[in-house]
Amino acid sequence: MLNGKVVVITGGAGLLGRVFSAAVADAGGVAVVADVNLTAAERVAQEINNARPGGAAPAQLDISDPESVNSLIELLHGRHGRIDAVVNNAYPRNKNWGRKLEDVAYGDFCENMDMHLGGYFLVMQRFSLYFKSQGFGNIVNLASIYGTMVPRFEIYAGTRMTVAVEYAAIKSAIIQLTRYFAQYFKHDGVRFNCISPGGILDNQPESFLKHYNGHCGTKGMLDSKDISGTLIYLLSDASRYVTGQNIIIDDGFAL
C-alpha cells in the first residue's frame, strides 16, 4: 500500500514509533526512523533492514528545534527528491511529567506544553510548507482518547498513575491543530488526520488493567500493533480524500 513512499516517523525508536516504522516498511515504504536518540534510531532501522533490506533509514530529530526539523527536510529532499508523509508521533516530556494535578508546577506545565504541543506544531508547520511546495503530502498526528473525553480517574485508584493534566491539554489541542491545518491547506494537496489510541500495554499494574479493561470490549489495553493498520490506511492512497479526521482506536473504552 505504500510502495516507495518516504515516510518520516518522529519518535521512531519509541514504544509506538518502532512498531509504526516496521509497519511502514512491511507495506513497501521507506521508514525514516527519526528520533532525538540517534543510536536508538540506528538500532531500530537496522532491525527493520535485517528483515526488509532498504526498508528503513535512521535520522536524528529534535521536534522542538527548528533547525533540526529544517535540516531533516533538506536531507531527505536531497536524498529522495520528495517526502510523502510524516507520522507526528514523538512523546517529549520533562522529568516531572505525570504528577497529579496539585503537584504540577507552573514551570513544568509550560515546559511540557512547549516541548510536546509546540514540537507537534513545529513539525506540522515546516513539513506542511514543504509539502505545499511539492504539491502533495500527508501528516498523521498521534493524539489520544483523553483528548476527546473526560478522564476516568477512578481506574487509577491504588496506583501511582494518573492522567497527566498536561497530557489531556496537549492531546486535545493536537486534534484541533489537525483540523486547523487540514482546513488551511485544503486546496494545496496536503492532508492531515489524527489517530486517538486508547491505552497501550506497557507493564501497567494489574489492578489498573482490571479497571481499565472493564470499560472495553474483547481486547482491553491495546498492543502497539493494534494501531498500525489504521496508520497504514491513512498513509496510503486508500484514504486519498480523507482529511481533518480523528480516528479513535480504543476497543470501546470511550463509549
Q: Which of 156, 167, 184, 212 is catalytic?
A: 167
Q: Decide: 69 and 122 in contact? Cβ < 8 Å.
A: yes
pLDDT tens digits, one per residue of 139-187: 999 999 999 999 999 999 888 888 999 999 999 999 999 999 999 999 9
pTM score, two decimals? 0.95
User: How does DSSP assign 167-234, residue by residue?
Assistant: HHHHHHHHHHHHHHHHHHTTTTTEEEEEEEE--B-SS--HHHHHHHHTTSSSS-SBPTHHHHHHHHHH
**Domains in the chain with CATH codes:** 6-247 (3.40.50.720)
In the chain, the percentage of residues whose pLDDT exceeds 90 is 96
Q: Is 167 a catalytic site residue?
A: yes
pLDDT of residue 20: 97
The dihedral through the CA atoms of 3, 8, 98, 37 has a sign that is positive
Q: Over range 37-63, report the average pLDDT.
A: 97
Q: pLDDT band at 59, cuts 50/70/90?
A: very high
